[in-house]
Amino acid sequence: MSEPTVQGELRDTPDSWEVRGERTSFEGKVWDVVSDDVVMPDGRAATRDYVKHTGAVGVLALDEQGRVLLVRQYRHPVRHRLWELPAGLLDIPGENPLRAAQRELWEEAHHKAGDWRVLIDVYPTSGGSDESIRVFLARDLSEAEGEKFAADGEELDMQVRWFPLDEVVSQALAGELHNGALVAAAMALKAAQAAGALDTLRPADAPWPARPF
């Protein structure tokens, strides 16, 4: 069987098909649904509905014992309590993504970190949303000073625990963990460790074309 012909490097590249019409189908409290009339390669137009998202950051906090700090909270759309990374939306105008990640680590887990690097950037649902998530690797961890963040709403029910990275990976492979950012980040960290590449990960202020700052 002949191999398929693929041109170019193994990397995602920016591109944009012609858009003949764009409108907001639904305007929500956090994000909107937009509808674009896109010209396909064969010249026909097709409507593409997708969620217009602010973007988000996540933190994979790794301690010296190889444990990962996770939070557990209820997610209504999937009717589950999920173990996740400390994470949050980029919904404060002008806030740097690294600063947002540091804030989320403090708010959700009352921790700070002395070493920050970019672990992965992902489009979690590229077929239906323009959401982009940057996950930072945080090391050199310590408990934050002062009073804890005053949580409210759904965060009042949040739990915080440490788990060995190997357990997180094995539970993801067993189908017991489902949060996309957590699963992708845990696998990426494990791969980086195996390659001895933790100290060559991108710096915390590396460019992020999906959400330029």
Domain holding 88: CATH number?
A: 3.90.79.10
pTM, rounded to two decimals: 0.92
84, 179 Cβ separation under 8 angstroms: yes
Give me the pLDDT at residue 106, please: 95
33-42 burial by CB neighbour count: b if 16+ within 10 A, else e? ebebebeeee
Examine the domain organization and report whether 102 and 47 are in the same domain: no
Share of the chain above pLDDT 90, in %: 85
Average pLDDT of every residue of the chain = 93
In this predicted structure, what is the pLDDT of residue 5? 56
What is the reported pLDDT for 3?
61
Does a structural domain hold residue 13?
no
Task: Note whether 23 and 35 are within 8 A (CB).
Answer: yes
Residues 92 and 129 in one domain: yes
Do 66 and 144 share a structural domain? yes
The answer to whether the beta carbons of residues 116 and 138 sit under 8 Å apart is yes
Mean pLDDT of 110-115: 96
In sequence order, what E strands does the chain have?
A: 19-27, 32-39, 45-52, 56-61, 67-75, 80-84, 87-89, 111-122, 133-143, 159-164, 202-203
* Residue 5 domain flag: no
Same domain, 36 and 122: no
pLDDT at 67: 98
Same domain assignment for residues 71 and 161: yes
Verify that 183 and 79 share a domain, yes or no: yes
Q: Residue 30 CA to chain centroid, in angstroms?
A: 17
Give yes or no: residues 126 and 181 share one domain: yes
Instruction: Specify whether 82 is located in the same domain as 167.
Output: yes
Give the pLDDT band (50/70/90) at residue 189.
Answer: very high
Q: Is residue 208 part of a domain?
A: no
118 is a domain residue? yes
Query: Do 32 and 112 belong together in one domain?
Result: no
Same-domain status, 114 and 158: yes
Residue 171 burial (10 A CB sphere; 0-12, 13-18, 19+) = middle
30 and 104: one domain? Answer: no
Name the residue range of residue 103's domain: 54-200
Q: Catalogue the E-assigned strands of 45-156.
A: 45-52, 56-61, 67-75, 80-84, 87-89, 111-122, 133-143
- The amino acid at residue 7 is Q
Is 101 within the bounds of a domain? yes
The single-letter code of the amino acid at 169 is V
Average confidence (pLDDT) over 90-95: 90
Q: Percentage of residues in the chain with pLDDT exceeding 70?
A: 93
Residue 148, pLDDT score: 77
Catalytic positions, please? 155
| Per-residue confidence (pLDDT) for residue 2, from 0 to 100 | 55
The answer on pLDDT for 38 being more than 80 is yes
Write out pLDDT tens, residues 114-164. 999 999 999 999 999 999 999 999 999 999 988 776 666 666 788 999 999
